[in-house]
Structures are given as structure tokens and as C-alpha cells.
Structure 1
């Protein structure tokens, strides 16, 4: 668990360095009726709302965009884990549900792994990157979607 928290902190430090037009929220717990979801990071920008799932795995990471499970291979040992693209899609669905009265918000889900992970992932319609490519993945969105700087309350 501490590896996951450490990885989340490294991602937090990375996205905190984005320009002022990006507002960063970390480690959020949302509850609605009997359902809840924990989201590692949300970055609100004029270009969309980035929903970031952090994975602290290293080694070879393999899987498909629509696979139920992915595999971590490290030192000849293999471990399966739930597809983080699907996990993050659940976070986006939950946010859409919570914000159902809002305008059609552009959500951009991103899965980010440690720099020491060798990603052998087949994903054409999803963003899966190592931490060192995260800011580039976010900054590739340049068409304003929201008007003005996001504000709180």
C-alpha cells in the first residue's frame, strides 16, 4: 500500500508543476447513496477534466484496452490486476452521475505507471503512460473546452 501512496505522491508532485490554468485535486473520495469511489487525481483545465489513475507497479505491464485483467511480470513472477482503464472508466461514470445536472463535460481518463514500468499495453482509445510522459499527455490537449479559469466554490 505504501508503494501506491508513494507513486501517487510522485504523480501529485509532477502535476502540481502544470501552469496556473490547471487546478489539481488529489486523493478524492466521492460518495453517493450506497456507492463510493476514490480517485487519485483530478486536473480541471480549460481543455477538459483529466481523471488520473496511478499505478505503482514496475516490471513489464501487459494487457489490452478491453481485457478484464492485466499482467505484471517481474523477476519471472506474474501477477494479475484489474484493468486500470476499466477502473478509471468507472471513476468517470461516477463523476458523470454526480454532475448529471452540469453541461456536457469533457472527461479525459489517464492511467499513469511508474517510470520503471515497461508498458506493453494495447490501447488505441485510452491514454496509458509512464509518469515522465504524464505532463506531455495532459498538455497535448490545446483546444479550450471550458471558458475562464476554474474556480472553487
Structure 2
């Protein structure tokens, strides 16, 4: 049963017994919190595994590419947590990784996308999740703002959403933002045609310097 289903069951149980005493209600709260923490832990664990899969592939890029993993960009107090940031001759790529089981469907303009998965007993389940293109679009916006403040307003940042093939069976997506399986990521980067042409080495170094400065400030503030 999903976390939402468990919560619904408990709430209905409480409402069904109007005579329930206060201490019974209080005794349920730790159970709800424990279930929440358990589900949160599973979600984070899947996310970390997915990021490791993508990072392993990104490490195969040529030496003239710079790869950052799991960094926080602070644009004058407006923060963005970025799964992967790639900087190289082909451009700058802001990558959002999703490690979700089942079939994924959605459109660029949708607020939520839908995950369809089959349970162990054959039951089909549907779950909505926030549109990752919109999610990563916010990350790109904040990253661009930070680069602008560091005299790098001319740099184009390409948003990319990656689903892990091992868990995501099918992608039925209509989006201007590239939505890929992890196995296609390196090919996408190699074949990418930056609308402003290849990045000069000096620009790559300037971006790296700006990102490293941000990381240093974030670490000192921690």
C-alpha cells in the first residue's frame, strides 16, 4: 500500500469511530510519521542510485568535459539543487535524473506527469509526480541567473531529463526538453548542436571558476 493509501485508511478509521479517545489519536501520529520516514527513505535511496548510474556514464566523457554531481547553486539566496552539471565544448547541460519504475507519460505543459506500474500480484497502479521538465526548468533559470551575475549571460544552458532504463519501461512523452533514457545520454551530448557554437576553452574555464566559487561559498556557509 502506498503512503497516501495508508494515511487515508488511518484517517477513515479515526472518523469511523467518533468516540475514539484523544490518546488513541496521539498514538497514531508516531505510526504515520514512521511510515512517512520509511517511504521518504526509499524515495531518496532510489534517487541516489539513479544519480550513480548517470554519473558512471558521464565519467566516460572526454577529458575536456567537467562534470559536477549533486550541487546546490545559490543565486543571491534563490537556490537550486542540481543532480548533474556538465560543462564542455558542446555546451552546458543541466541534468535532472529520475529513477522511477514503470511507464512514464506526460507533456511539456502538464503540471504533473503519470507513472504507471504493475504490482507483484498483477494490479496496475497510477501515480502522479511533478513534471520533471518544469522542475529542471526552474533549476536552469536559477543557474542562468547565477551565471548572468558572473558575466556569463551569453552562455546557453541546456535542460535534460534522464530516466533510468532499468526501471522505466516506456517513455510516452511530448516535450521540447530532451527526455532520455540513461543509455542515450552520452550520444545526445556528443551529437548536440549548440545554437551559439562550440564553447571556447576560456568560457569553459570561466564557468568552472564561477561554479567552484559557488561551491566554496556554500561549503563555508554550511
Instruction: Tell me the TM-score normalised to structure 2 length.
Output: 0.65
Structure 1 runs not aligned, ≥5 long = none
Q: Give the distance between the partners of 2:147 and 2:84, measured in 1 at CA.
A: 17
Aligned position for 2:56: 13
Question: In the TM superposition, what are the counterparts of 1:4-153 in structure 2 within 5 Å?
Answer: 4-75=47-118, 76-100=124-148, 101-115=151-165, 116-117=167-168, 118-123=170-175, 125-142=176-193, 144-148=197-201, 150-151=204-205, 152-153=208-209
Residue 106 of structure 1 contacts residue 145 of structure 1 at CA under 8 Å; is this kept in 2? no
Q: Using CA pairs below 8 Å that are at least 6 residues apart, which structure has the higher relative contact order? A: 1
Residue 47 of structure 1 contacts residue 141 of structure 1 at CA under 8 Å; is this kept in 2? yes
Please report the RMSD computed on the Cα atoms of aligned residues, expressed in angstroms: 1.5
Residue 69 of structure 1 contacts residue 81 of structure 1 at CA under 8 Å; is this kept in 2? yes
Q: Give the distance between the partners of 2:201 and 2:55, measured in 1 at CA.
A: 23
**CA displacement, residues 107-131 of structure 1 (integer Å, 9 cap, x when unaligned):** 11100001031101112x2100011
Segments of 4+ in structure 1 off by > 2 A? 31-35, 142-145, 149-153
Structure 2 runs not aligned, ≥5 long = 1-43, 119-123, 210-222
Total equivalences in the alignment? 152
Deviation of the 1:32 alpha carbon = 3.5
Please say which structure displays the higher CA radius of gyration: 2
Structure (1 or 2) with the greater helix fraction = 2
Residue 144 of structure 2 contacts residue 153 of structure 2 at CA under 8 Å; is this kept in 1? no
- Aligned-partner SS, 2:158: strand
Structure (1 or 2) with the greater strand fraction = 1
Deviation of the 1:35 alpha carbon = 2.4
